[in-house]
Structure 1
Amino acid sequence: MTRTLTILGATGSIGRSTADVVLAHRDELRVEAVVGGHDAEALAQTARKLGARFAALADEKGGAALKEALSGSGIGSGAGAAAVSEAAERDADVVLAAISGTAGLRPTEAALKPGRRIALANKESLVCAGEAFMAETRRLGVEILPVDSEHNALDQALAAGRNGDVEKAIITATGGPFRTWSRERIAAASPAEASAHPVWSMGSKINIDSATLMNKGLELIEAHHLFGLEAERLDVLVHPEAIVHGLVQWSDGAVTAGLALPDMRVPIANALRHHERLVMPLPRLDLASIGRLSFEEADEARFPCLALARAALRAGGAMPTILNAANEIAVAAFMAGKIGFYAISEKVEFVCSSFSGRRLAAPATISDALAIDEEARDAARQLIPK
């Protein structure tokens, strides 16, 4: 049976990997709409290649360029927030939500429709507005399937038993580019060094989050909402080879693990056709040739952002929203050369502490989440040198 697909964030790394999956299965996946950010030419090329019916650019100023690039294709187009919402709301069986940052909150919310599946790659939907987002998915009967390799591995591993029998669900981390560096050497790291991820090819901001291990902290918060597991039953394990992506330790002592080569097309294919696996023309995992898999504990002394994220998860309420907002401002300042590497965690900790006494409740709506997000960003901006 052919399933229709809309791709939010079609020109990013996840979107490009999704295009590869679609092109390998044109008879099983048909693209309804594609959404991009600012690059009209790249979005038009993607729309043409995938045979989409509609293309929407978030940047309203690029509307004319997109229309021109699609001239003669028969593909409809639009630009601006209304066009992005239109794309998200068009009839489709599956919506891949891969717009990064808080910019993806509104489009992902618009994609929530009864009986629909959301292949979720937008962290902010769960980190910033997890309770509100998951409540709405339950109300509408929307199925959420994680695209991140770690959460996708956990999703598959958790099918081996009951949630109540889970002692620990563990996501893995490569350890980033600074896994073996001393704290002193890390302190002097440049943005270019922090952006050099040893395994994955991602955007600059995500690469920095990988270097600080904040990305693993955010993934713990995501896992809490996705799988209904408390902070005490969630953990991180450093695994440089990036072959084991998630593990579930059960009450009887057994462990179920999700393994795959580090290729985002694997979890994407699983999320798009859950329970009906696609045949993907990808290299197969050969454990004998790899020979050895290694694991170690995450060092929160050298990577304090992970500890900050764990604390935000335990605190609950709006603290994960505040943590994420402060982190985005601090990371941007580091990338611009305004602050040092460890100033990222220092700024985030200061902002979180400044809000802790208010005990803000978890955002009840996406609008609430965006309001808290902006307030926390303003607080973080005050800490950045001009």
Structure 2
Amino acid sequence: MWLLGFLLVLGPLVTLHELGHYLVGRWCGVKADAFSVGFGKELIGYTDRRGTRWKLSALPLGGYVQFAGDMNPASQPSPEWLALPAAERAQTFQARTLGQKALIVAAGPAVNFVVAIAILAGLNLAYGRLEVAPVVQVLAQDGAAARAGIAIGDRIVSIDGDPIAGFDEVPGRIAPHPGEPVTLVVDRGGEQLSYSFTIRPVTEQDRFGNQFRIGQIGIGAGGGRLVPVGAGESVVLAVRQTGQIMETMVLGIWQIISGRRSVEELGGPIKIAKFSGEQLSLGWPQFIHFAALISINLAFINLLPIPALDGGHLAFYAAEAIRRKPASQRSQEWAFRTGIAFVLALMLFVTINDVATLPLWGR
């Protein structure tokens, strides 16, 4: 299940990411020499009339598109590129305008966002929108909220100054902040009261033995209802959900950098495979939702301003637009080599981290 789930999640998502680069590149007049699903030795393939080699490769861990003239890590003009015939050089990535280059690079993460929004919109359309009044109906007497003075029947108005429209918004404002202060404003009989306290950190374990450190304040809501939504509303809701997931990712990374969360929560390919198999075992709706999360994750990671990632290229293009001249080829090549080294080191770290947290070691 791990292997099947991993292949069904990461393979298609990375392929779609690269397909985004390819389609926009083709629209901008760039020739692609190769488009591969997977890495390594070619298993099967064919060459289309445009000269692009489409192939299935032995290592099914994503894929890549290779544009004509892409001869160095920074995709900058080189002596080899200048030696190409003029007609061939005109079809290369380096011959495009700065805006076209940016569009081609940004297309990959953009497709991942579109895929995630489409998945979430489809789920919203199929199951509807959860509507739960932001009223406290369940109160743990030893919980942080009860100790602060919150009572059953209180209607939550805001959390840390942000208005709350439904109880379904509360977990997203509490769970990611274990051990941190929070301020709740509630309405009690027409009077607004403010309570400040600390979110209790709790370690929970799911049915697969995965442990998660989350925040809890000891409140719950009554029964909600699923409200049917139309096609337009489902997309709007999906865009909002995608933004919320992005906010959670940024918060999680900042918490790890600042030491408020353990680096053990970082995951790589092994952990993705593990979670993919677990979600697949729960059924297709859970698995498809998980695929949307991974698609957002791929887009987010690729947009980080790290040389060698799409975000690194976009950062150099932004600097070039401001300075009105590109950085030197030597400095860009060193930056991209450093970026590749950083990404490889990070991949090695998270892989070791993944192996260390597997249940093989008695944890």
Determine if the TM-score, normalized by the shorter chain, exceeds 0.5.
Answer: no
Q: Which has the larger radius of gyration?
A: 2
Normalising by the residue count of structure 2, what TM-score does the alignment of the two structures yield?
A: 0.30
**Which is richer in strand?**
2
- Higher relative contact order, structure no. (Cα contacts within 8 Å, ≥ 6 residues apart): 2
Normalising by the residue count of structure 1, what TM-score does the alignment of the two structures yield?
A: 0.28
